[in-house]
Amino acid sequence: MSFEKLSLVYFSPTGTTRRTVQNIATGIALPLQEIDRTAVSSRKQPHHFSSKDLVVIALPVYGGRLPGISTEFFAGITADKTPAAIVAVYGNRHYDDALIELKNCAIAAGFMPIAAGAFLGEHSYSSKVAANRPDADDATAGNGFGARFLQKAQTLASATMDASGLVDVPGHFPYEKPVVNSGITPVANDNCIDCHTCVEGCPTDAIDRQNPRLTDKDKCISCCYCVKVCPNDARHMDDPRILATVNRLETLFMTRREPEIFI
């Protein structure tokens, strides 16, 4: 069976998940559609996929789970037994129950998750942990994963697409950890020049338009986009709990982990 197009559906505040799925797409020679559901407005758009589509669905790992916005991410997305590759991108600690949660969400939306990958991205909280990843080796792994996903989809489609093709992934159900909802926001200092870059790119519209030094702690998901993007180094995570986490990550989780593929 031939597929008509490949869609990349992802959430990626600091860009590593986006780069990972773009690497995967290099292994799949089909017309490409990117559906970036990082912005609030993009998560309100409905999308439907048929059995002629191939889809890669990817989110970062937050606290061993999917980010809390994953409910919004999947709202309005429907599929009709569409073969999907599910991808969790994590910052060199672990992905814990995120892949199995992603599998369950994808099935609930109507997808057939037939391939899965846990890939590495530079940690949102520390540029020293999984620094500069995905790198060239991750790109090669992504390309190979894409090719194997396409091959499996073609093999299954020529028979019947049924539950026997679903991929097995590690993880617990019921999930062992709660969804991360720390209420910890970055703080802005006097370096802020009101350029609004952080306001425009915040994935939850948590930063005040009139005064970007103010952040709504009920909306903020601690994604660190604003910290990384600020051109004037005006936003920082200085909460002691985050600093302790960074210290732990930079002490215990520096040994390079490699992508894991499940097919």
226 binds, among ligand FMN, ligand SF4, none (CB under 5 to 8 A by kind): ligand SF4
Smaller CB distance to ligand FMN: residue 63 or 165? 63
Closest CA to 221 of 6, 19, 11, 80: 11
Q: Does 121 bind ligand FMN (CB under 6 A)?
A: yes
Burial category of 238 from C-beta neighbours within 10 Å (exposed 0-12, middle 13-18, buried 19 and up)? exposed
Tell me the one-letter amino acid at 191. Answer: N
CA 11 – CA 25 distance, rounded (Å):
16
Interface mask toward ligand SF4 for 193-222; x: CB under 6 A: xxxxxx---xxx-xx----x--x----xxx
What would the DSSP string read from start to end of 160-177? ---GGGPPP----SS-SS
SS3 246: helix
Q: Which of 3, 49, 62, 262 binds ligand FMN (CB under 6 A)?
A: 62
The residues in 8-27 that bind ligand FMN, with binding defined as CB under 6 A, are 12-17
Indicate whether 59 belongs to the interface with ligand SF4 (CB under 6 A). Answer: no
Residue 184 within binding range of ligand SF4, rule CB under 6 A: no
What are 242's two structure tokens? 């985050």
Site for ligand SF4 in 221-240 (CB under 6 A): 221-226, 230, 232, 234-235
* Residue 188 touches ligand SF4, criterion: CB under 6 A: yes
**Binding flag, residue 242, ligand SF4 (CB under 6 A):** no
DSSP bridge pairs for 58: 10, 87
| Listed residue (142, 62, 134) closest to 97, CA to CA | 62
Residues contributing to the site for ligand SF4 (CB under 6 A): 13, 185-186, 188, 192-198, 202-204, 206-207, 212, 215, 220-226, 230, 232, 234-235
